[in-house]
Chain A
Amino acid sequence: GEDVEQSLFLSVREGDSSVINCTYTDSSSTYLYWYKQEPGAGLQLLTYIFSNMDMKQDQRLTVLLNKKDKHLSLRIADTQTGDSAIYFCAESRLGGSQGNLIFGKGTKLSVKP
């Protein structure tokens, strides 16, 4: 298909790890992004990964990229209630030449105390 796909909901307990998955479509995408949207706010960039990397770690966040399967994941370690939000995966379908990002529909993460 042509869409960036994500599961719509994920529920975890505080302190557990969260893994949010995404499949994208364009094998030539140069950058892949994770954005976070808190209630009533705009999308905030969390992290991104260049397509020649397999993994990127930034504090509690780990991004894994499987180019063969066009699969991207975001792992949040020690999930906190403040991590409750909608997480969007996005691919740079035009290779960054014009800046057009294709977003998934977002995964709503609920963290239970």
Chain B
Amino acid sequence: DAGVIQSPRHEVTEMGQEVTLRCKPISGHNSLFWYRQTMMRGLELLIYFNNNVPIDDSGMPEDRFSAKMPNASFSTLKIQPSEPRDSAVYFCASSLIAGGTDTQYFGPGTRLTVL
């Protein structure tokens, strides 16, 4: 398996622009997580999905952030409009919740810089 795939790996944009981050989870996994990592705040859970349904979006910073999972093999995280304080590394992770461990497998991340 290729693991969790994220694109783009790096994104540089200007304040006010729309940014879309993409994630393809591991095939067969039924849960997907979006995290944000900064030096100041560490790793923060933004939102997670079970079976394509958003379960908890309490970590989403504000209405400028939205996430979708239209099917089991694809998810997007959108920021509109972007601001410099959104600069961070965004990770997607997936897992298979099947009554055993809930190990999460992380993608390589998208490094977002908002100028």
A residues whose Cβ falls under 8 Å from a Cβ of B: 31, 33, 35, 41-45, 48, 88, 92, 96-101, 103-106
Give chain B residues whose Cβ lies under 8 Å from the Cβ of A99: 31, 33, 48, 50, 95, 97, 102, 104
Check if B100 is an interface residue, CB within 8 A of chain A: yes
Q: Is the CB of A97 within 8 A of B109?
A: no
How many contacting A-B pairs (Cβ < 8 A)? 63
Name the prevailing secondary structure of the B interface residues: strand
Tell me whether A45 and B105 are in contact in the complex, defined as CB-CB below 8 angstroms, given that A98-B50, A99-B50 are known contacts: yes
27 contacts between A and B (CB under 8 A): A35-B106, A41-B109, A42-B91, A42-B106, A42-B107, A42-B108, A42-B109, A43-B43, A43-B91, A43-B106, A45-B103, A92-B102, A96-B97, A96-B101, A99-B33, A99-B97, A99-B102, A100-B45, A100-B102, A101-B102, A101-B104, A103-B42, A103-B43, A104-B42, A105-B42, A106-B42, A106-B43
Check if B61 is an interface residue, CB within 8 A of chain A: no
Give chain A residues whose Cβ lies under 8 Å from the Cβ of B91: 42-43
Chain A residue with Cβ nearest B106? A42
Q: Is the CB of A31 within 8 A of B101?
A: yes
